[in-house]
Amino acid sequence: MKLVRFGERGKERPGVWMGDGRILDVRALAFHIEDYNGHFFENHGLDQLRILLDDPGAKYIDAEGVRLGVPIVRPSKIVCVGANYAAHAKEFGHDIPEEPILFSKATTSLNGPNDPITMPEGAQVVDSEAELAVVIGKTASKVRKEDALDYVAGYTVVNDVTERIVQKANGQWFRGKGFDTFCPMGPFLVTPDEVPDLRNLRVWQKLNGETLQNGNTDDMMFSIPFLIEYISQGMTLLPGDVIATGTPPGIGSARNPQVLMRPGDVVEVGVDGVGVQRSEVR
């Protein structure tokens, strides 16, 4: 299944993307499913959706022209993995890490997959990073990597937008990566049955139609099961939490000359089989 949240900002409704031009309006039939939040995931919400798909009373809307929001309600945390592709670590001047580098993005930076990205006042060096992200489906604490995928609700696409000067000047990454609209997510939350091979997904980015990133999850140094094990050893992951798994090489700020985001640009990021975003820069 491909879960979506549709409607105007702040008033999104939960739905299922049918792939035939329709969206299943979940709340029109299942009033108890308020939204795709922690309660939904921890209380067998995905199983309930599968039942709704076969309900003769299901109601659908035309997907044409409908705004899609972030596919999950604001998570308790967004955990990001830095330098998880060796070639990206090298292009950005990092040593190859022996353990995952973790940082966070503000939940208020979340943005719809096709909503505009707004440059903060004074921004100078801003670029994007295409990433596969994992959404946790049940409380995960001290999980073993052998069991880690049992804790996954699904996968989505994240654009880790960053102001590089702020990132470097602050001595930590949170502010440079946490500006409003700097975390477009979606369009879908894709359930694991539709993403059978996590080690062979193309991850890509285009700026104004020019391909900047064209990598593959096979190049990750730390796999998704390992990341869930590593993070959950001392940090409880809650249903709906997000892990952004890193980005392949090719980012604009690492190029010579740099290829940076400017107002009027169009940024596209995608993960094959998971989804594609398209954002205008303002």
pLDDT at 170: 80
Query: What pLDDT band is residue 257 in, cutting at 50, 70 and 90?
Result: very high
Alpha carbon 81 to its chain's center: 12
CA distance 135 to 158: 11
* Tokens representing residue 19 in the block: 């792939």
pLDDT on residue 165: 95
Q: E strands within the chain? A: 2-6, 13-17, 22-25, 60-62, 78-82, 101-105, 110-111, 126-127, 130-136, 152-159, 162-163, 183-184, 189-190, 202-207, 210-216, 242-244, 266-271, 275-280
In this prediction, residue 90 carries a pLDDT of 80
Type of residue at 38: G
The one-letter code for the residue type at 168 is K
* CATH 3.90.850.10 location in the chain: 78-280
Could you give the C-alpha distances from 220 to 82, 105, 250, in angstroms and in order?
A: 11, 20, 15
Domain 78-280 CATH class label = alpha beta
Phi/psi region, residue 171 (left: phi>0; alpha: psi -120 to 50; beta: rest), is left
Within a 10 A sphere around the Cβ of 38, how many other Cβ atoms? 21
Whole-number pLDDT of residue 204:
98
148 with 228: CB under 8 angstroms? yes
205-229 pLDDT, tens digit per residue, is 999 999 999 999 999 999 999 999 9
* pTM for this prediction: 0.97
* pLDDT surpasses 90 at 89: no
